[in-house]
Amino acid sequence: MASGEGAIDPQAAASGAEADAEMETEEQEGPVMCLDLTSYQLHDLNEVEIPPTLEELDLTANRLSSVDPRIGRLTGLRKLSFRQNLLDDAAVAPLSSWETIAGLQELVLRDNKLTRIPDASIFKGLLVFDVSFNEISSLSGLSKVSSTLKELYVSKNEVGKMEELEHFHALEILELGSNRLRVMENLENLTNLQELWLGRNRIRTVNLCGLKLIKKLSLQSNRLTSMDGFQDCIALEELYLSHNGIQKMEGLSTLQNLRVLDVSSNKITAIENIESLTRLEDLWLNDNQIPSLDGIEAAVAGSRQNLTTIYLERNPCAKTPNYSATLKRMFPNLEQIDSDIIA
């Protein structure tokens, strides 16, 4: 229910959620229970019954400013979400001493009022940790987070340095977008990393610290002027580099698994260094300075049959007579040219 419609009756919320939990228990083998109280606009849980056998508790989009101590007695709790509430550092502090829930695997504190990384050292088997959309200025405290972690989200904060990441050998997803980062560093031990999201920072130079298993990489809206640094990331499937100051396409010829390449909104004048790529499906080149369609077919020759989407709008070449028809002739399996879906 939308907040403008008034807060829902907490007892009714608890009753409905408990029924959902019981239904899930009946449908599955074993006492798997999930209580979902998303968007009930609750200020506290005083009137909510919390079943002691819960394994998942979702409190997304409420008005909670404290953590109910009963949560600390849920021995089987594995997933806990406080996304989009009003929790500050003091409010989440009790979590670090509740040994009963030490088996927690997923902790979401996204979109609250945190100013530092909370102490999560008690959760020895933590797999997912999300503190995005807060006011955190430093990654100090991550060294206490379990090395079992597979997904770490710290986007939309005020972090200025990549640090205390060295022990995350199992990490697969790292999200640090929309911070104040200037340097890519301390990544060399993240040997299982598959997704790295660093968009909307202040990074000038690519440094992947020898990582070779990354499949998805975003450096959109940074301060890059060169594409040098991706050559060894041969597992890359998706590369997002829009809204930078890149003038030349380079360092791409070794990326034989690349399916999506976004270099829109840069200063590129020619399509090059991708002719040997054979798996490209999406190619975003809009808002650059490419003068003509001449040579484009040869430049993307390796992916001629696989290319399904191409964006070239707001380049001088997009004013070419019969622009769309020419592209369709070059790439017979195109399904989309700029924002136009091809019938």
Render pLDDT for 96-125 as a digit per residue (tens, 0 to 9). Answer: 999 999 999 999 999 999 999 999 999 999
Cα-Cα end-to-end distance for the chain: 39
> Which residue matches tokens 């004048």?
269
What separation in angstroms does the CA of 23 have from each of 20, 32, 49, 51? 5, 10, 16, 13
Confidence (pLDDT) at 242: 98
Q: Which residues pair with 58 in a beta bridge?
A: 36, 81
Quote the DSSP letter at residue 89: H
Confidence (pLDDT) at 19: 41
Q: Are strands 216-218 and 173-175 parallel, antiparallel or unpaired?
A: unpaired
Confidence (pLDDT) at 31: 57
- Give the other-Cβ count within 10 Å of 174's Cβ: 24
List, for the chain, all residue ranges whose pLDDT scores fall below the cut of 50. 1-29, 32
Confidence (pLDDT) at 15: 45
Cβ-in-10-Å burial (0-12, 13-18, 19+) of 301 comes to middle
| Spatial contact of 271 and 229, defined as CB atoms under 8 Å apart | no
Q: Which residues pair with 282 in a beta bridge?
A: 260, 309
Confidence (pLDDT) at 104: 98
